[in-house]
Amino acid sequence: MNIYKEIYKTIKSYDSIVLARHVGADPDAMASCLALKQIILNTFPKKNVYAVGVSTSKFKYMGNLDKVTDEIIENSLVIILDTPDKKRVDIDNFDNYKYSIKIDHHPFVEKFCDLEYYDENASSTCEIILDMVFNTKLVLDKRSGELLFQGVISDTNRLTTINTSYKTFDLIHKLIKDTNIDFTNLYEQLYLRPLAEVRLQGYIAQNLIVTENGLGYIKLTDKIIKDFKVDSSSSGNMINNFNYIDDVIVWAFISEDVKNDIIKIAIRSRGPVINEIASKYNGGGHERASGARVKSFDEADKLIQELDNLCKRFRSETNENK
Ligand code: AMP
C-alpha cells in the first residue's frame, strides 16, 4: 500500500491522536504538528487530537499546545514529526502509546516508530504533510495552509536551500491557489524579531573569526549574551542570515547556555557536509544545517578544528576539480 494511504488509514482508525516533534522546536517542527492537528480535525471532527511539547512564546502566533494525561497516552496513536531519533522527541512516556508513526525529512538515524516515513530529499516536514494531504482524503483549510506555508518557507530559508525542488514549488503553488492565504503577512510573523537580536547580529558580523580555509565562527559567552539582553538561542535564530559571504563556506555560532549548563552550537554550510562532524559532538541534522551540544569551550574548540580541516579538504578538492 502507498505509505500516505497507510498513514491515512491508521489515522482514521484511532479516536485519539497525539502529535509531537523534536526538542528545541523550530517553525517546521511546530507548524507540522499544529497543521496536522487542524487537518485531522477538518477531516474527522469527532476525533480528539493533541499537539504536545514545550511551548515557547516565540511561536505563540502559531497556536497553543496541549497537555495529555496518562490515560490519553495509553489510548492514543502518536505521530512524531520532524525528528529522526527517539532521544530528541519532546514527549513524555513515548513507550506507553498504542501505536506510533514517524514523518520526517532528516537523514535516517534510527527506527523507533511502528510505521515510519522519511524522505531526506523533502525540503521540510511541512512539505511532506502537504504532499500527503494532496494525495489522500485529508482536508486542508486556510489555517493549516498558513502553518504549512510558514514551515516550508522557514526550513528552506525562503526557498533557497539545496532540498528545495520543483516539487516544493509545485506544492506551494497548489497550496496558495487552493487556500488563498495572505502569504506576505505570514512572512512578517516568521521574520519579525527584537531589536536586541539585530544588535547581536551586528556584533557577530563585526567579530566573526574567519580562518584561511573559509570557516567562520564566534563564541558567545554568557556575559556577551546578557550584555546584549538576548538569550542563548538568539544566535541560532540568525545563523541563516550569514549565508552567501564569499570568504565563508562553513559557519558556526557557539553560545553558552548557563541555565542548562551546556554550550549550544549552530552550524551551516554552503558546501561541505557537516552533519557527520556534528553527530560526533552530541548533535546531528542535515548535510548543510546542523547543531551540536558540548560541555565546554575546549570541546567546542575541537569541533571548530574539525570543521576547519573539513573546509580545507573541501577547498582543495574543489580546486583540484577545476
Ligand atoms: P538548528 O541549528 O537548531 O536550527 O538545527 C539545524 C538542524 O540540526 C535541525 O534539523 C535540527 O533538528 C538539527 N539539530 C540541531 N541540534 C541538534 C542536536 N543537538 N542533535 C541532533 N540534531 C540537531
- Dump pLDDT digits (tens) for 154-170: 999 999 999 999 999 99
Identity of the residue numbered 204: I
Q: What's the pLDDT band for 220 if we cut at 50, 70, 90?
A: very high
Cα(136) to centroid(ligand 1), Å: 30
Position in ligand 1 atom list of the atom nearest CA 239 = 2
Domain final residue pick, 171, 191, 211: 191
Query: Are 32 and 143 found together in one domain?
Result: yes
Rounded to the nearest 5°, which phi and psi values hold at 171?
-65, -40
Number of domains in the chain: 2
Domain final residue pick, 124, 159, 191: 191
Query: Are 95 and 144 found together in one domain?
Result: yes
- Dump pLDDT digits (tens) for 221-246: 999 999 999 999 999 999 999 999 99
Residue at grid coordinates 567546542: 300
**Region 139-166 average pLDDT:** 97
Range of the domain at 229: 195-320
Cα(264) to centroid(ligand 1), Å: 10
Query: Are 171 and 210 found together in one domain?
Result: no
Residue at grid coordinates 514549488: 169
HEC per residue, the chain: CCHHHHHHHHHHHCCEEEEEEECCCCHHHHHHHHHHHHHHHHHCCCCEEEECCCCCHHHHHHCCCCCCCHHHHHCCEEEEECCCCHHHECCCCHHHCCEEEEEECCCCCCCCCCEEEECCCCCCHHHHHHHHHHCCCCCCCHHHHHHHHHHHHHHCCCCCCCCCCHHHHHHHHHHHHHHCCCHHHHHHHHHCCCHHHHHHHHHHHHHCEECCCCEEEEEECHHHHHHCCCCCCHHHHCHHHHCCCCCCCEEEEEEEECCCCEEEEEEEECCCCCHHHHHHCCCEECCCEEEEEECCHHHHHHHHHHHHHHHHHHHHHHHHCC
Query: Are 68 and 164 found together in one domain?
Result: yes
Query: Are 130 and 220 found together in one domain?
Result: no
Q: What's the pLDDT band for 322 if we cut at 50, 70, 90?
A: low
Cell of 166: 520543483
* CA dist., res. 304 & res. 300, Å (int): 6
Cα(231) to centroid(ligand 1), Å: 17
Burial class for 317, CB neighbours closer than 10 Å (0-12, 13-18, 19+): exposed
28 lines ligand 1 (CB under 6 A): no
**Region 271-285 average pLDDT:** 98
Rounded to the nearest 5°, which phi and psi values hold at 130?
-60, -45
Tell me the CATH number at 73: 3.90.1640.10
Strand partners, 116: 102
Cα(276) to centroid(ligand 1), Å: 12
User: pLDDT at position 56, please?
Assistant: 87
First to last CA, the chain: 46
Strand partners, 21: 81
- pTM, entire model: 0.95
Query: Are 242 and 312 found together in one domain?
Result: yes
Which residue puts its alpha carbon closest to atom 15 of ligand 1? 291
User: pLDDT at position 320, please?
Assistant: 72
* CA dist., res. 226 & res. 12, Å (int): 49
Tell me the CATH number at 275: 3.10.310.30
User: pLDDT at position 177, please?
Assistant: 96
145 lines ligand 1 (CB under 6 A): no
User: pLDDT at position 143, please?
Assistant: 98
- Dump pLDDT digits (tens) for 42-93: 999 999 999 999 998 999 999 999 999 999 999 999 999 999 999 999 999 9
Does 1 score more than 90 pLDDT? no
